[in-house]
A and B are shown apart, each in its own frame.
Chain A
Amino acid sequence: MTGKTLTLRLKVWRQDGPRAAGRFEEYDLPGISVDMSFLEMLDVLNERLNADGHEPVAFEHDCREGICGSCSLMINGMAHGPQKGTATCQLHMRHYRDGDEIVIEPWRSSAFPIIKDLVVDRAPFDAIIQAGGYISAPAGSAPDANSVPIPKEASDSAMDAAQCIGCGACVAACPNGAANLFTSAKLAHLNLLPQGQAERYSRTVAMVDTMEDHFGSCTNHGECEAACPKEISIDFIALMNRDYVKAQLFNRRLAGQRR
């Protein structure tokens, strides 16, 4: 522990409920250790609010090690804050200076309505996964490891896509509120593997169509890739586009994939 502390000025979005009008509230927060994570800093804020008899700030968090995708804060206009390739929980206060003003907002998109303060409802992501984010395999006993040969490149690529933690930063950062990066990552991690081939095209159509029921469309700004805590590439969006076009334009009846 370095023992160094910061005094911060926070501007936090407070909203009592889904239908309530929100507002920014300002808090002066002294005594923040530079070793704290961003969420621990918010914990300190909430403890002080509690102690003073105020309602604490609602924000989502769970694993606090960058793998669950619960934390979701727009920090000074950047999804998950200024540090590239990290979720909010992995952002540390040593990146801030004494006296900094930090503006904290929830994700904003009509697909992600605010539940309270900084918490949004990301249920449309679940709808996309339900539409095709699985393989229909006979679920017997666990198969032997390496019984299905997978080329190294394919498994690397699939694992890159599978890193998506579904946090929604891509939607939050996209000027169009599009979820193409999320959906393309979820598609790619199944579509690139042998087990995903049987349902490749029906899955692509089902997930893309569900996505478009909720979200905006991609205009290739690249903001999602810049905001993604797992640095997932927009190359996967191109792959999704290609698979979707193939699925719609070619006869899939022979492959048993005609809807």
Chain B
Amino acid sequence: MATATAPAKRKRELPWPITFYRSAVGKKWVMAISGVVGLGFVVVHMIGNLKLYLSREEINLYGEALREFPKHLLPRTVFLWITRVVLVLALAVHVHAAASLTRMNARARPRNQQYQSPRDYQVANYASRTMRWTGIIVLLFIGFHLLDLTWGGGGADFERGDAYNNLVRSFDRPLVAAVYVVANLALGVHLFHGVWSMFQSLGVNNPRINKARKRFAQSVAAIIVIGNISFPIAVQAGWVDEACVGTEHGEPCEPSGLKF
């Protein structure tokens, strides 16, 4: 007697975002997308901070504008908080993917499978080989930077809303200024490889743009590093001074800003 066999029940598929993220190629794609989010933030942050060179009023009003954006369309700080949540999620997923891929790579080339002879890299550069270390430096720095200039626990006199003086008081300490410079150099090295690598991970590859991809990465890294390290250097060099010591926030204040 012939017995009809029921078709084997297909294994229940996981939702596609999970299946996708479980693969290394998917994780790299997620790292690229979250990297783009982070890159966008870093660029806007650097450009916004250039207002330090205009005046205390300009940069403090800029800070206030970020809280009010987009003015009457949303209640105050709602957009800011949405942005913060997106940034934190992007950072979290970027770090998780990096940690998980690092473990995968360590399994593929464990200690007992390392080359015993001196082995020289042919094309891998300093940036590509130090991604995890520059990444960790930047991660630690983000913690310190938030503590220092967002929450006000960095040791310097902190007044909520007075971004200008908070920044100047913080950067007046040589050690802190040095920390900012070092961390931003690490960020630059991270971006140098990351921005180029992002194109490969997303599969953006076309003979017409392939040369431009590396140049774009180099330019982005250079612009970010030069912009960001100029702030602590300017404060240390005395080009930007603390303004209106003793006056309360919002009171009339002498024009301050770039002085030579």
Contact = CB atoms under 8 A, between A and B. Distances in A.
B115 A77 contact: yes
Contacts of B24: 212, 216-218
B149 to A, nearest CB: 32
B20 to A, nearest CB: 4
Interface in A206-259: 208-209, 212, 214-223, 225-227, 234-235, 237-245, 248-249, 259
Interface string B124-140: 10001101000000000
A244 B204 CA distance: 13
* Interface residue SS majority, chain A: mixed
Interface string A192-215: 000000000000000011001011
Contact of B202 (A13, A78, A241): A241
Contacts, number: 147
B197 A220 contact: yes
A248 to B, nearest CB: 4
B23 interface: yes
B10 to A, nearest CB: 9
A140 B131 CA distance: 52
Interface residues on A, range: 35 or more
Highest count of chain A CB atoms <10 Å: which of B25, B104, B196: B25
B123 A177 contact: no
B108 A177 contact: yes
Nearest to B197: A220
A244 B131 contact: no
Given A108-B109, A216-B108, A223-B123, A239 B203 contact: yes
Contacts of B116: 13, 24, 105
Given A74-B115, A178-B105, A220-B200, A248 B193 contact: no
Enumerate the 10 nearest inter-chain pairs by beta-carbon distance, A residue then B residue, closest first: A242-B203, A216-B108, A177-B108, A238-B205, A77-B119, A217-B24, A221-B124, A176-B105, A226-B122, A177-B109
Given A175-B121, A245-B203, 18 more contacts: A77-B115, A77-B117, A105-B117, A178-B105, A216-B105, A216-B108, A219-B105, A220-B196, A220-B197, A220-B200, A221-B124, A238-B200, A238-B205, A241-B201, A245-B26, A245-B29, A249-B20, A259-B13
